[in-house]
Structures are given as structure tokens and as C-alpha cells.
Amino acid sequence: MRNRNFKRLLSAVMAGVMTLGILTGCSGGSEEAKTDESGATVIKFGIHVANPAEQEVVTYNIVEAFNKANEGKYKVEFEAADTETHSKNMKLKAEDGSLPQIFWIEGSEASEYSEAGVLLDLSEFLNENGNVKEALGGMEEAFVDDNGQFGLPYQCNVQGIFYNKELFDNAKVDYPTDETTYDEFIEMIGKLKESGVIPLAIGSKNSAYAMWEFNEFLARYGWEGNIDNILSGKDKFNNKELTACFEKLEGLKDAGSFPENMATIEYFDAKQLFNEGKAAMFGTGQWDCAEFDKNIGDKIGFWWGPKFTDTQSSQEIVMKVPSAPIGVSAKVADDEKLKEGVYEFLKFYYGEEAAKLSYEGSIFPATSYDGAAASDSQYAMNAMIEALANGWASPKAAPDLTVSSAVQEALYDGIFGVLQGTYKPAEALDKIDAALANSQ
Amino acid sequence: MHWLSKKKYKIGLMIPTLLVYSIFIMLPIVIAVRYSFTKYSGIGQAKFTGFKNYVRLFQDKIFWISLKNTMIMFVMAFVLLLTLSFLIALLLNKRLKAVDFSKALIFSPAIIAPIIVGIIWVYILDPNIGIINNLLDAVGADALKAKWIGGEKWSPYSIAIIYFWQQLGYLVTIFIAGLKMIPGDVLEAVKIDGASAVQEVRYVIIPMMRTTISTVAVLIITGVFKIFEIVQQTTGGGPNHLSETLVTYSYSMTFSSSDYGYGMSLATVTFLLSLMITAVYTAVTKEREG
């Protein structure tokens, strides 16, 4: 009898231990280590690339420089994952209260985090650090809502169309200028195509976000002036201005601007076509400058995109906008020492030394400091700086970052739908309107 | 071991498994169904919206496209995989030359990660760089060139073929295992009785392999409803969602559009559909057996 009871007890204990083991084995465990072995306060920085040392070199260098300058006091450690995984992880962490102290936020999701109250209002930081606010020069205004300053720009994004001068020369096509019109652009595409190159490299597979050159189209058809009316229901995406804009996209498709297999290639494949001299133009931003310096060198040119003559909206617009923001977890406020460390890092990140490191890595920082500039061998970045010299205005934010995730996704889908001939312009715009209606 | 065979001990020993199953399989399903009745962006509070997501789903053209694509893949995979894997298993069960090599060759796609499978097939099917179109070009059959992936028509068929290629070896192995279970003396008796090869398969092998056939059928049904990586790798669901399956569309809505509630309603419908088809198949085969 005693033996039987012992066996009962043993099996119950074993079952319990197994279950507990499995449950604990699958749980995430604590990641809130606050100091490292040297006693330095550890600050976690959630970043949207899997390997920051190679994929976000500038940010990696800034963090390294900060850690070196603050040895034994503060240490910033990356929590790295590719963009999609990072976004999913941050949402899960926001739900269970384990967000890293600082983290990159997908632009269209930033307001959702703010509304959920998981972000620290950084107004206090900016008020305490007037020099940072001055250096940001208004870039921070894109990330203010009723909850305050919910984020700060991770970088400054300069977006447009890079072109390969050599391929233009071969095709006997003049380089585009600020005054080049849409009709001239279409002509240019025809000649480039005749010369045997792909006029404009673009890939849509898993790359709907890679539509930076078309942000300029949207902006020049009055996006900034209309978007509030559209989002509040007073107007629709399917309006006269955006219809005209989407018709221009359709015109690009009709002119044969894109690779035939754009549906099965990704942004990276399209960039490869440009790097290899198989495509004459490629729409992107400053993050690709270093790669173009290496592959195309001084043959690189940069252009904002065509001017449109069928709209009253200003055409003197460039796309120098704040990138997606970085946010600080609201929980940081609970720990004075941690908050101090985070503020110290932000001060460094938006400081002059970090700005210089940014320029060295061909990235425009969100801040402006005198004396921080690109070197002569940074051809792609210098082409952008030259283009920026026209002094034209920029919108407060890139058009695609002014809408919620669902609408943003529909916007991307609509643009690529028209570029690929799947949708007619009105149909694409109706789909964006439907996405907006569903998201409200 | 007498004490272990008692009912109450059996139940006791099942508790850990049941707990794990409940927590990691059943609970997520329940949570997903719950979220399908809400509007939720993944952060903050989910807002109860009743059947709104389901009403939207039935009005959503892309849902119907995804369902159509899934069904095309299901029919193609079911017919091709069930028949061909069975026939190949019959062939490989014979003592032929190079049988072991053939088994290894046929099984090899099953050990390749689905993402790699996708990459391999991009190089075969891509309209520009793919082998098929380049071959057609080389032999002057330009008229037969098509957008096997990334176009508006052929993507679901191409994905079904890729899935077939990937799964064939695995299912052949299951069938071979089933064939090995048939007692040799039964087959010998059939031969002595003078049955033809077709009669042997029709009246002896198939009836004796009903359980194996059912298992393979259920694996195909549930497998088709989980095709994800191949779609992501070959077309990404594009162009413009035209090659989405139910599961990739659910993923896209949930994680790209941050529309968790709607994404979960798609996942729930996919789950119910898969359950329904499996139930119908099981009922039909049981009725026949009865």
C-alpha cells in the first residue's frame, strides 16, 4: 500500500515538474538586467535590423562612441531583429510591459504606441536640452500629439531618384534637373529603354514600402494640404488631385519604365540592377549612399523627380523629412538612474559628435550642426546635398508616414497596383478609401 | 506495471500532455477566435466589434481571391499528391534497380527548408531570369512564355506544383511504410490466385491501406492550408494580393496592416475550413468502410 502511494506521489510530482519545466522553459525570462559586470547601467536599444554593425553602421558607431565615452557608467546594448520581427516583438513587449528602454518605431505605428500610453513624453528632455531642440530645427514636430513628444526622429530621410550618369550619356539623354517636367521624364524613359537599360528599377515582392520616389509625386499633388481633410472624412483619397497623381503613375507603367519581373523581385534585387548598371534610375534615400559610392562612384546623380503641370499645388517641394522615430519606454520614468542614462544617450545621439559620425557614414542626421559635412569621395551624398541647395521646402513628414498602418499598406498596394497594371487609378484610390473606412 | 493500466492512472499520466496541449494549442485558438470579434492594432485595448470583421471578410474581394487560390492549390495538391505518391510508392516497393537511390532522390526536396525551396523555384519560374521562359526562348517557343509567378493567372498553379514537388517524397515514404505493413503471405496468395497487378492493387492493397491513405489525405488537407513560405518567397502574395492564400493573407492583414482583429477572423475561417474538409473526408471514408 505504501509502495503504491509512493508511486502515486512520484507520478504526480513528475507530471507537475514536467509541466512546470515546459512552461518555464518557454517563457521569456527577465531581460531587465540594469547593470553589467562593470557596474554600468545597461540601456537596451531595440533596432530594426538583425545586424546593426553591418546594416546600421552609423547607429552602431554612435552607440560604440557613447559606450566608450561612458565606460563603467552607461552601456547601450542593441536588441536587434529584422524590421518585421522587430515590429512584432515591440508590440508583444508593449503588451507585457517589457519594452527596451529605447526603440525604433515603424512610422505608421508610432501614434498607436503613443495612444496606448507606453511611450515617455520627451518634452522634458527637449526642454532641458535646448541645444538639441535647436539642432533638430523642427524635425521633432512630426512626433507630437496630445500625449506630448512621443518620439524623436531616428535620422533625417532624404528621398528621391538616383541616376547613373554613364547610362544617361550612353543613351544621349540630358540629366534631369529641378525643372524637368513629367512629359520630359516620359520622353527620357523612352530613350533610356531604347538604349537597352531598365529606365527605373523597382521591385514589389515583399517590398511595398520601397516607394520613396513616389512620396515626391504625392507631395507635389498637394498631399500635405489635403491629408487632414481626408483623414477626417471631409474629403476622399479618390479626389481630383490624387487621381491625376495616380494617372501619372499609370503613365510610367505604360511607358515601360520598370523591370518586367518587378512583381517577383524585391527592393534589394532592384537596387542590384542599379548597382550593376542594368538600370538607369533607382528611387531610394540616403541610407543607400555608401553602397552607390562603392558601385557607381562619381557617375551618380540625384534628382527629386518631375514637376507636374496639371495641378495648382506647389512643385517646389523636396523630400527631406524626419525618418521613423525612436521612442522611449514610459517605464523608464520609474527609475531615475535609468532615465538619466537614457537622457544622456539621447543627448549624445543628437549631439555634434554623432552628427559628424552620421555624415561620415553618408547618413543625414536629424540634427544640423555647422561644420558637419560629407567628404569629397561621398559622391552620392554630395549629389543629394547639391540637390538640396535649391532651398525648396520639405513637408513635415513623408506622405506615407502620415497615415495609419492599414491605410499605409493600402497606399502601397494601390501605388504598386497601378505600376503593375493590376488596378486603374480610381480603383486603387477607392481601395485606400476603403482601408481608411475600415480602420476607423 | 499493473497499476499503470488503471483508468485513473492513465488520466493522471495524460494530464501533463493535456495541459501542454491546452495551453499551447487550444488556448491560442480560443484567443485568436476572441480577437476575431475585435478591432485591435496589436497595442493597447482590443475593442469588441461583434461580427463586423466577418461581415467585412465576406465583402472583401481579396479574401475570395485567397480562398480561390487556396482551393486551386488544394485540388491540385490533393489529386496529384494522393495519386502520384501512391503510384510511386508502389513502384519503389518493387525490387527494381536503383530503388534506394530513387527513394533518396524523391525524398530529398522534403529535407530542404521551404524558404530555400521557394528560392530554387524562383530561378525556375521567374518570367525574366527563370529557366522555363529562357528555355522556351531558346527553342523558339516564345508564344508559350508566361508569367508563371508574379502574373495574374498562373501563380496559384505554380505554387501547387512547388508544394507537390516538396511534399512528394515525404508522402511516398509514408505509403511505402504502409505497403510494408501488408503481410507478404496475403500478396503471395493473391498472386497464386492469378490476380493481375491492377486487381491486386484495386482489391487487396488499397483496402488494406485505407488507414495510411486517410493519414496521407489528412496531411495533404492540413498541409495545403499551411502553405506560407513558398508563397512568401516566390511572389510575396503579389502582385497586389493576387497570389495570396488564406494563411498569407491573414498574416499580411495581421502583421503588415496591424489589423489583428481582421487577421484573426481570416485565421479562424481558415481553421474552420480546414477542420470542415478534414471532417467531411473522414466521414466519407468511414461511411465507405462501414
Which one of A365, A391, A422 terminates a domain?
A365
The Cα of A432 is separated from the nearest Cα of chain B by a number of Å equal to 12
Q: What is the pLDDT of residue A4?
A: 56
Query: Containing domain of residue B71, as a range?
Result: 62-289
Residues A357 and A288 placed together within one structural domain of the fold: no
A259/B contact by beta carbon, under 8 A: yes
Same domain, residue pair A424 and A351: no
Q: Give yes or no: residues A310 and A332 share one domain.
A: no
Q: Does A215 lie in the same domain as A104?
A: no
Question: Which secondary structure element, helix H or strand E, spans residue B75, and what is its range?
Answer: helix B61-92
Q: Are residues A121 and A134 in the same domain?
A: yes
Asked if A12's CB is within 8 angstroms of B12's CB, the reply is yes
- CB < 8 Å from B in window 91-130 of A: 91, 94-95, 108-109, 112-113, 115-118
- Domain CATH for B215: 1.10.3720.10
Q: Which pLDDT score is estimated for A19?
A: 41
The answer to whether residue B231 sits within a structural domain is yes
On average, the pLDDT of chain A sits at: 90
Residues of chain A positioned with their CB less than 8 A from the CB of B259: 405-406, 438-439
Between positions 367 and 406 of A, the ones with CB within 8 A of B are 404-406
Q: Please, what are the averages of pLDDT over each run of 10 residues along chain B (290 residues)?
A: 72 91 94 95 89 94 95 94 94 84 89 91 92 93 90 92 94 94 90 89 91 92 92 90 94 90 96 91 75
Comparing A368 with A418, which gets the higher pLDDT?
Answer: A418
Same domain, A220 and A353: no
Residues A164 and A291 in one domain: yes
Does the pLDDT of residue A16 top 60, yes or no?
no
Flag whether B53 is in a domain: no
Any B CB within 8 A of A276 CB? no
What is the CATH classification number for the domain harbouring A356? 3.40.190.10
In angstroms, rounded to a whole number, what is the distance separating the alpha carbons of residues B25 and B45?
Answer: 24
pLDDT above 90: residue A11: no
User: What pLDDT score does A15 carry?
Assistant: 44
pLDDT digits (tens, 9 = 90+) for A235-248: 999 999 999 999 99
Give me the pLDDT at residue A12, please: 47
Asked if A240 is an interface residue toward chain B (Cβ–Cβ < 8 A), one would say no
Which of A1, A261, A273 has the highest number of chain B CBs within 10 A, making it the mutation to test binding with B? A261
**Is the model's pLDDT at A20 over the cut of 60?**
no
Facing A94 at nearest CB: one of B12, B43, B256? B43
Q: Count up the domains in chain B and report the number.
A: 1
Q: Mutation target for B interface from A205, A404, A419, A423: give the one with most B CBs within 10 A.
A: A205
Nine-digit cell string for A208: 511595398
Is the domain of A214 the same as that of A234? yes
DSSP conformation class of A176: P
CB atoms within 10 A of CB B153: 12
All residues of chain B having their beta carbon less than 8 Å from the beta carbon of residue A91 are 42-43
**C-alpha dihedral (A340, A343, A344, A347), degrees to nearest 10:** -160
Residue A35 within a domain: no
Nine-digit cell at A370? Answer: 555647422
Compare all CA atoms of chain B with the CA of A99 and give the residue at the minimum distance: B43
Nearest to A118 by CA among A349, A347, A332: A332
Instruction: Please state the separation of Cα A95 from the chain's center in Å.
Output: 23
Q: Is residue A22 part of a domain?
A: no
pLDDT at position A295, please?
95
Torsion of Cα atoms, B33 then B37 then B39 then B40, to 10°: -20
Nearest-CA residue of chain B relative to A203?
B239
pLDDT score of A111: 86
Q: What is the pLDDT of residue A18?
A: 44
Nearest CA in chain A to B12: A12
For residue range A336-352, what is the model confidence (pLDDT) as tens digits? 989 999 999 999 999 99
Question: CB-CB: which of B9, B128, B241 is closest to A261?
Answer: B128
> What residue type is A194 in one-letter code?
E
CA of A410 vs chain B CAs: smallest distance (Å): 8
Domain-located, residue A8: no
Torsional class of B44: left (φ above 0), alpha (ψ -120 to 50), beta (otherwise): left
Number of structural domains, chain A?
Answer: 2
- Residue A174 and residue A142 share a domain: no
pLDDT at A27: 40
* pLDDT at residue number A319: 95
Residue A149: name the closest of A358, A322, A390, A372 by CA. A322
B207 in A contact zone (CB under 8 Å): no
A133 and A85, same structural domain? yes
Of the pLDDT bands very low, low, confident and very high (cuts 50, 70, 90), residue A3 is: low
ipTM (interface pTM) = 0.78
**Tens-digit pLDDT profile for residues A112-168:** 899 899 999 999 999 999 999 999 988 999 899 998 999 999 999 999 999 999 999
> Residue B2's pLDDT is what?
59
| B228 in a structural domain | yes
The residue ranking higher by pLDDT, B11 or A256, is A256
**Domain span including residue A81:** 41-153+324-365
Residue B3: the pLDDT is 64
For A:301-360, CB contacts with B below 8 A are: none
A195 Cβ under 8 Å from any chain B Cβ = no
Among residues B281, B171, B267, which one has the least CA distance to residue B223?
B171
Chain B residues in contact with A95 (beta carbon < 8 A): 42-43
A290 Cα distance to chain centroid: 17
Contact residues for B284 (Cβ-Cβ < 8 A; gap 6+): none
- pLDDT tens across A82-119, in order? 988 999 899 999 988 899 999 999 888 888 899 899 99
Residues A124 and A249 in one domain: no
DSSP annotation of A281 reads E
Indicate whether B249 belongs to any domain. Answer: yes
Q: Best mutation site among B60, B258, B260 for testing chain A: the one with the most A CBs within 10 Å? A: B258
Asked if A181 and A280 sit in the same domain, the reply is yes
Distance of CA A375 to the CA centre of its chain: 25
